[in-house]
């Protein structure tokens, strides 16, 4: 057998975020004798995946951040040119423009723009930049990918999507890993000092504006009025964590909020929860919502999240208003481990299809 096709995967930081998790899920289930990944990411990353990537044979190439645009472009151009890639796959939302321009200059024939999100004007300048750059992403891409219909239409336009020019690559997961585990529930509640009889609302995500922790706290504050023995379990890190900690103090909820930080056992942490809440201002197709459903958790999601991610009847989508309504729904719903509908998100199937796509592109 010949050497595997090497695909340059260009990401932002290698941390513990959703996009990294999606790419890693696909990589773990890829036939690596046929397709190998090389990862390009910002030098400032914490890079918790290093040991696993070394074991799996990935290439790892830290590069300057795109805020240093000339250095960023030069590093990618030289890498793409010298390593003679046939496929570059960029996961940077509208910032993929710059990576794909470097790939075009380097003569890479297959250049994939992959969009994982939308935008919200609460992020001000960041959102303005997204809208300014969005029209240019099609200039240097040969293939258009998105995590779902909403993200695809937002990035490439309705006409492009309706003509079938956008490939939807779902944020697939290893569903079995997220199955409810009663032993893990007891063990993790003890470890996190959560009473066995507490009602636990869970959230998994970075502390950023998009994840809308401020609204989450207002919902949880209402919930504690209805269920005094409730706890809020927050999994993740991020630049707004200290701001959220201060707000927790204002709500007088310090003894009811548990910060779990970045964990390697998130798949088990869902079992410690009784319900899952995701009030994001915007998303693409959040993998955490799928993981929670695979665990059987009732989920209350923002109506800004694509409906494609709803795979069973144990999910409610609400407007970002009336925190008391969110609280009531979180308490009212119950665990349901019916996997009906989640089959389309099984990682083995989706990774096989992506590998075939890469191999077909390489053969052209």
pLDDT digits 0-9 by tens, 3-30? 899 999 999 989 877 889 899 999 999 9
d(CA 128, CA 206): 21
d(CA 328, CA 324): 6
d(CA 141, CA 222): 47
Residue-level pLDDT at 337: 65
Under the banding of pLDDT at 50, 70 and 90, the label for residue 196 is: very high
Under the banding of pLDDT at 50, 70 and 90, the label for residue 340 is: low
pLDDT in tens, 270-315: 999 999 999 999 887 888 999 999 999 999 999 988 888 888 889 9
- Nearest CA among 21, 59, 54, 27 for reference residue 40: 59
Q: Which of 81-85, 92-96, 151-155 has the highest mean pLDDT?
A: 81-85
Predicted TM-score of the model (pTM): 0.79
Residue-level pLDDT at 67: 86
CA dihedral angle for residue 208, residue 273, residue 340, residue 153, rounded to 10 degrees:
-10
* Count of Cβ atoms closer than 10 Å to residue 105 Cβ: 14
Residue-level pLDDT at 341: 60
d(CA 77, CA 75): 6
d(CA 94, CA 303): 23
Ordered structural domains, the chain, with CATH = 5-172+346-363 (3.40.50.2000), 175-344 (3.40.50.2000)
Instruction: Report helix, strand and coil shares of the chain as percent, to nearest 5.
Output: 45, 20, 35
Q: How many helices (H) and strands (E) does the chain have?
A: 15, 13
CA dihedral angle for residue 107, residue 153, residue 171, residue 55, rounded to 10 degrees:
20
User: Contact 152/168 with Cβ under 8 angstroms?
Assistant: yes
User: Contact 175/360 with Cβ under 8 angstroms?
Assistant: no
Task: Tell me the percentage of the chain whose pLDDT exceeds 70.
Answer: 97
pLDDT in tens, 248-272: 999 999 999 999 998 989 999 999 9
d(CA 151, CA 306): 8
């Amino acid at each position: 057998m010949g050497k595997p096709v090497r695909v340059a995967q260009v990401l932002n930081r290698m941390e513990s975020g959703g996009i990294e998790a999606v790419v890693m899920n696909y990589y773990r289930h890829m036939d690596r004798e046929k397709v190998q990944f090389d990862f390009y990411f910002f030098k400032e990353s914490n890079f918790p995946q290093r040991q696993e990537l070394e074991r799996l044979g990935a290439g790892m190439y830290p590069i300057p951040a795109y805020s240093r645009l000339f250095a960023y472009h030069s590093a990618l151009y030289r890498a793409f040119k010298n390593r003679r890639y046939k496929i570059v796959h960029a996961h940077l939302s509208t910032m993929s423009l710059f990576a794909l321009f470097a790939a075009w200059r380097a003569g890479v024939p297959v250049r994939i723009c992959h969009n994982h999100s939308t935008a919200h004007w609460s992020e001000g300048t960041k959102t303005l930049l997204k809208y300014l750059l969005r029209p240019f992403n099609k200039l240097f891409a040969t293939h258009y990918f998105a995590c779902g219909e909403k993200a695809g239409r937002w990035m490439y336009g309705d006409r492009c999507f309706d003509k079938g020019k956008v490939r939807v690559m779902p944020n697939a997961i290893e569903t079995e890993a997220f199955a409810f585990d009663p032993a893990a529930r007891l063990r993790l509640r003890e470890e996190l000092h959560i009473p066995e009889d507490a009602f636990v609302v869970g959230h998994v995500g970075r502390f950023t504006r998009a994840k809308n922790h401020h609204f989450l706290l207002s919902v949880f504050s209402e919930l504690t009025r209805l269920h005094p023995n409730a706890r809020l379990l927050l999994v993740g890190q991020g630049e707004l964590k200290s701001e959220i900690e201060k707000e927790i103090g204002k709500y007088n909820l310090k003894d009811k909020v548990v910060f779990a930080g970045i964990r390697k056992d998130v798949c088990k942490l869902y079992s410690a929860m009784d319900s899952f809440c995701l009030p994001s201002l915007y998303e693409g197709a959040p993998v955490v919502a799928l993981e929670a459903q695979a665990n059987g958790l009732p989920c209350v999601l923002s109506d800004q999240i694509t409906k494609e991610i709803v795979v069973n009847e144990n999910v409610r989508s609400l407007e970002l208003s009336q925190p008391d309504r969110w609280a009531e729904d979180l308490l009212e719903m119950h665990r349901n481990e019916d996997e009906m509908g989640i089959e389309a998100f099984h990682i083995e199937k989706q990774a096989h299809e992506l590998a075939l796509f890469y191999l077909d592109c390489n053969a052209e």
